[in-house]
Structure 1
Amino acid sequence: MNSTMHRWEIPSAGIGKLARNEVRRPQPKAGEILVEVEAVSLNYRDQVIAEGGMGANLVFPFTPASDMAGRVVALGEGVTRFAVGDRVISTYITGWIDGAPLSWADSPTQGGPINGMLSQYVATPADWCVQAPKSLTPEEASTLPIAGLTAWMALVELGNLHAGQTVVVQGTGGVSLFAVQIAAANGARVIVTSSSEDKIARAIALGATHGINRSATPDWQDAVRALTDGRGADHILEMAGGDNLRRSLQAVAPGGRISVIGLLESDEVSLPIMPLLGSRASIVAVAVGPRRVLEDLVRMVDVHALKPVIDATYSFAEVPQAFEHLKRGAFGKIVVTVREA
């Protein structure tokens, strides 16, 4: 085994400063596993953090990206969770095993402030990984730790989704398309909103039952009401923030649930209190989830043969191009294949 490897790093804030550097290959310490990284999926937060955002206190040089799938190639002393040869995926919130959420200080996140995964090998605590789904390729499995888990957490773990309910999914990014598939698999009626007719058609092919073009119908909340005979949706995945949250409040059914996941339009929230009180709706912030819930998701993926939607796959040499695609927007996920062909 060579003593060096390659990883992508930035010397200071700025995704445009990415450089592929040769560094010493890490060795697993007690309680750690050495993982040969096979695939890394990119998330919106990866670019924001690399630009110096989201309050992450980065130590440079810094390697971006939190989500990986790989193969265990060595064990540190005392490791019993995994064996050499096991396929694993990373967790995102490192200290959150189960139960109530921990503070950010008590559970730092991978890919910022903790060094990320765009590396040929990573040495990581065994407790920060779970077994990968047996039914997925490494590229597919790498999409689960943030996007898949966030959708599952919002709808199933916290939302208690069941058959016959109506779910509104905003947009067609990674979290949104996981939500379409998970909701459809649970027998829910799924309404997807997008500014693209082509993307709406593709989402319907994945299990959505209706699509609303937000460009043609800016007051999409009225269309949701019409599709539900005036009742509204039981679950809404709020991806934009800002004024869009007001529309979600108008579209939610009495006693329904709005899961605030994204802030694509604004990181500020302002709502009139009387409509909120009148709706008796719950507005809940969803920030991924604990390790135990990721393990639940892995089991569901294998049982239901769910296949993550990957818009494009880039080679390890094409990481800057992958981030450019992420910035343009994607239908589903952008993935980097790390292992050499």
Structure 2
Amino acid sequence: MTPGQGIAGLRQERAPMPRPGRGQVLLRMRAFSLNFRDLLMIDGHYPGGAPDAIVPLSDGAGEVVELGEGCSRFAVGDRVCPIFMQSWIGGDMTDADGASALGGAIDGVLAEYVVVGEAGLVAVPGYMDFAQAATLPCAAVTTWNALYGREPITPGSTVMALGTGGVAIWTLQLAKAAGARVVITSSSDAKLERATAMGADHVVNYAATPEWGAAARAFTGGRGIDKIVDSAGPGTMPQSLAALRRGGEIAMVGVIAPGTIDPLAILVGGALVRGVMVGSRRHFEDLGRALEAHRIEPLIDRSFTFDEAAEAYEHLRAAQHMGKVVIEMT
């Protein structure tokens, strides 16, 4: 992929089979999923830029086919997912961790075979197939960090997610599994109906209700939402703050809606606005245990073949999807 060229910058290339070095493993990739970040990358709009040519995508699942010297965490045949930032094992994220992000700072996973560090892998939940597991590394881990990374939600918490993309649907599924009440917004009544069928306690069409923050707050009896997972950013911040309870948290996980942020509203409301840049291996491992316990099925909107990767990008760009867009090896 050549960043900045859009879909035209995607191309298939043949390369020698990679070989794992010490502490590395060779993976045969089986499935991948797309994120809005991947559109920013091909369009050349990703903050900080990217190398002139890079293997795209952060999210994938595959199987171990060869171990490098000194590897002991996994065995040949194990099903695994590479983590988003290969060096972020636990604790707070560092600048160096940001430089290890797959499909951004370094080559990603959209290939038949990839070599990654053994430390940068987690096991696939046993009940999931490869396509389902490929939805986890960015959207699901981001959601887990948003819900549990600082002030964990508890049974009875009220949580709001904006839209019905990957992070929003994972927010609905993981928050409901925790016993929380969930509010979902969308401009599509059809998507809101599906979200209600999936367990959403309250839905708001933000196109029909411009003051959707007040509508969400009214659902709580005027108290306000405990935690908002905001995947849009500055453009939605005024309404998110209007919905939030005093002292509540907005986990900002995306910046797709331009706008300005009023610090006075944050100050007066005692709001915590926390930037969430995916999560660590420890977050991913905690997520995996929760998924095993609740056997949550990821929502996959549509699957494409490896040769249809460009079509998968276009489908994501159209923004008509609900849940995750997946690419599978055949």
Asked whether the 8 Å contact 2:147–2:153 carries over to 1, the reply is yes
Q: Which residue of 1 aligns with 2:305?
A: 315
Q: Which residue of 2 aligns with 1:146?
A: 138
CA distance in 2, matches of 1:144, 1:245: 26
Question: Displacement, 1:228?
Answer: 1.1
Asked whether the 8 Å contact 1:163–1:188 carries over to 2, the reply is yes
Task: State the Cα deviation string for residues 1-32 of structure 1 (Å, max 9, x = none).
Answer: xxxxxxxx448743322111222111111111
Q: Which residue of 2 aligns with 1:169?
A: 161
Q: Which residue of 2 aligns with 1:214?
A: 206
Question: Displacement, 1:162?
Answer: 0.3
Match of 1:239 among 220, 224, 231: 231
1:193 matched to 2:215? The reply is no
CA distance in 1, matches of 2:314, 2:116: 28
Amino acid at match of 1:289: G
SS of the equivalent of 1:153 reads helix
User: Structure 1's 272 and 61: CA in aligned 2 closer, same or farther, altered over 3 A?
Assistant: closer
Q: Which residue of 2 aligns with 1:5?
A: none
Asked whether the 8 Å contact 2:3–2:41 carries over to 1, the reply is no
1:305 matched to 2:295? The reply is yes
Match of 1:183 among 175, 185, 205: 175
Question: Displacement, 1:287?
Answer: 0.9
1:223 matched to 2:204? The reply is no
Amino acid at match of 1:143: T
SS of the equivalent of 1:20 reads coil
Asked whether the 8 Å contact 1:34–1:121 carries over to 2, the reply is yes
CA distance in 2, matches of 1:86, 1:192: 36
CA distance in 1, matches of 2:38, 2:121: 19
Structure 2 counterparts to residues 31-180 of structure 1, below 5 A: 31-104=23-96, 107-180=99-172
CA distance in 2, matches of 1:288, 1:86: 24
Question: Displacement, 1:36?
Answer: 0.3
Instruction: Give me the TM-score of the superposition, normalised by structure 1.
Output: 0.93
Asked whether the 8 Å contact 2:24–2:69 carries over to 1, the reply is yes
User: Structure 1's 57 and 222: CA in aligned 2 closer, same or farther, altered over 3 A?
Assistant: closer
Q: Which residue of 2 aligns with 1:271?
A: 262
User: Structure 1's 278 and 11: CA in aligned 2 closer, same or farther, altered over 3 A?
Assistant: closer
Q: Which sits farther off after the overlay, 10-19 or 198-207?
A: 10-19
Amino acid at match of 2:207: S
Q: Which sits farther off after the overlay, 80-89 or 201-210?
A: 201-210
Would you say how many aligned residue pairs link Structure 1 and Structure 2?
A: 329
CA distance in 1, matches of 2:98, 2:9: 30
Instruction: Give me the TM-score of the superposition, normalised by structure 2.
Output: 0.96
CA distance in 2, matches of 1:29, 1:186: 41
1:283 matched to 2:259? The reply is no
Q: Which residue of 2 aligns with 1:324?
A: 314
Q: Which residue of 2 aligns with 1:4?
A: none
SS of the equivalent of 2:257 reads coil
CA distance in 1, matches of 2:3, 2:102: 18
Q: Which residue of 2 aligns with 1:335?
A: 326
Where do 5+ consecutive residues of structure 2 fail to align?
none
CA distance in 2, matches of 1:270, 1:298: 34
CA distance in 2, matches of 1:200, 1:62: 37
Asked whether the 8 Å contact 2:167–2:231 carries over to 1, the reply is no
Question: Displacement, 1:104?
Answer: 4.9
Where do 5+ consecutive residues of structure 1 fail to align?
1-8
CA distance in 1, matches of 2:199, 2:181: 9
Identity of aligned residues (%): 39
Amino acid at match of 1:290: S
Asked whether the 8 Å contact 1:96–1:291 carries over to 2, the reply is yes
Question: Displacement, 1:241?
Answer: 1.9
